[in-house]
Amino acid sequence: MDGCHGLGRRRDRRHGGCARGAGGRGMSAEYRVDLDAFARNLSRVRAAVAPARHMLVLKDDAYAHGQDAIVRRALEEGVTWFGAFDVATGRAVREITGPDARIFVWLLGDAHDLAAGVAADLDLGIGNEELLDDLGGIAPPTPARVHLKIDTGLHRNGIRPERWDAALTRLTALVDAGAATFEGIWSHISEASDADDDDARELFLAARSAAVQAGLAPRFSHLAASAAGFARESFREDIVRVGAFSYGIRPAGGPGEGELGIEPIGALTAAVVEVDADVVRIDVGHLHGLPSTLRGRFSAATPAGPRTVRSIDATTSVIDAWTGAAVGDEVTVFGRGGAASATDLAELIDTIGEEIALRVSSVVPRRYTANGSRPAR
C-alpha cells in the first residue's frame, strides 16, 4: 500500500513522495505509518509477554495511527485480542475482524451499551455494580462475557475492594441465570512506581482468590499494560494489554526503544514550501498538532541532516536552512526516520509520547507503507 491521499497533491517525481502542488495549494504534511515496523513491534511484544497473550490496545484511533489499517495488519500478524475502549469502537473493530477475534471494551455507560456489546459479541469490562444490575435487567439473548474489574488504587472505575464480595454475589446470580459467563478479572495499574504496582497486584490477587472461593474462577486474568508487561514477569498473568509499545512509543523517562526492542512506526513529515537565506518554511504547524512550545528546542530531519526548528506557526514552521535546500524537499518533523521521537518531544514539555502522537490532527492524512515483508513469528 502506498499512495497520496488528500486534495491538491500530486506525485513528486524528484522525491517519489507526495508533495505540495506547484501552485501552492493543498498541504503536504502527512503522518506516515510503517506497517512492517508495526508488525515487527507486534512480534517483539508477543515474545516479551509470552506465554501470556498480547491484547492490542486501540483507543484513540490506535493512538492516532488509524484504527482500520492497524487492525487489518494486526489480524494478518496473528493478533487475537483487541482492546477497543468503548462499544462503538468495538463494533467497528468487529466489522473488520469477523467472528473469531476477542474484542474487549471497558467504557460502558448503561444497559443500552451492554445490550449493544453483547450483540456485537464483545468482551465486557465491568467496573461497577450498577452495570451488573443492568445486565440482569436486559436478560441478554446470549450470555454476556464479563470481565470484572477490581479497583486496585487508580480509582478510575472498578469495584472497590470492600464491595467486591457483593459484586461477586450479583455476578453469581447472573451466571446461574445464564445471563453472563465469568471470563476475566482485571485491573489497571499506574506503572509509575514498582511499590504502588506491587500493592495493586496484592489487591488483585486477593480479589481473584475471593472469586475462586465464591465458585467463580475467571478464565483470564489481566493487569499490566506496556511497561509492567515488559519489565515484570509476575504482572503478565494470561493477557497483557499493550498499546504504546505496539506503536513504538517508549515511556517518558524510561528505557529507550533499543533497550525495549521496539521502533517508532509513525512519522510526521512535511515539505519545504519557501526557502530564504538562512531558514526554510515547511507546511506543518500548531494547527496540525505540533505544540508551539517546542520551538527552538528540537531538530527536524532534513535531507542534509538535523536542523533546529526555530518557530512553529499556525500552519507552517521555520527551520534552519541547508545548502541546496529547495521547495518540495521533505522534512521529518518527528518519529520514524526523524531526529526526535514522539517521546523525545514529550520529554521537552513534560508530557508523554502518546500525547504528542494524539495531537497530530485528523486533518493530517495518514499514509501507510508496507513492503509485505513479514517478521519471523
User: What is the contact surface with ligand PLP in residues (CB under 6 A)?
Assistant: 57, 59, 106, 188, 225-226, 241-244
44 or 367: whose CB is closer to ligand PLP?
Answer: 44
Helix, strand, or coil here: 33? strand
Shortest Å distance, C-beta 59 to ligand PLP: 6
Shortest Å distance, C-beta 278 to ligand PLP: 40
Shortest Å distance, C-beta 194 to ligand PLP: 16
170 or 250: whose CB is closer to ligand PLP?
Answer: 250
User: What residue type is 83 in one-letter code?
Assistant: G
Contact indicator for 101, 76 with CB cutoff of 8 Å: no
Shortest Å distance, C-beta 17 to ligand PLP: 30
Shortest Å distance, C-beta 55 to ligand PLP: 8
243 or 266: whose CB is closer to ligand PLP?
Answer: 243
Please report, for residues 36, 174, 276, the alpha-carbon distance to residue 16 in angstroms, rounded to integers and kept in the order given: 19, 59, 24
> Which residue, judged by CB position, is nearest to ligand PLP in the bound state?
243
**Residues 6 or more apart in contact with residue 13 via CB below 8 angstroms:** none
311 or 351: whose CB is closer to ligand PLP?
Answer: 351
CB atoms within 10 A of CB 359: 17
- Cα separation of 201 and 220, whole Å? 15
Shortest Å distance, C-beta 149 to ligand PLP: 9
Element (H or E) spanning 154, and its range? none
Helix, strand, or coil here: 158? coil
19 or 245: whose CB is closer to ligand PLP?
Answer: 245
Whose CA is closest to 358, among 66, 86, 28? 66
- Cα separation of 220 and 182, whole Å? 9
54 or 307: whose CB is closer to ligand PLP?
Answer: 54
Whose CA is closest to 35, among 88, 96, 76, 86? 76
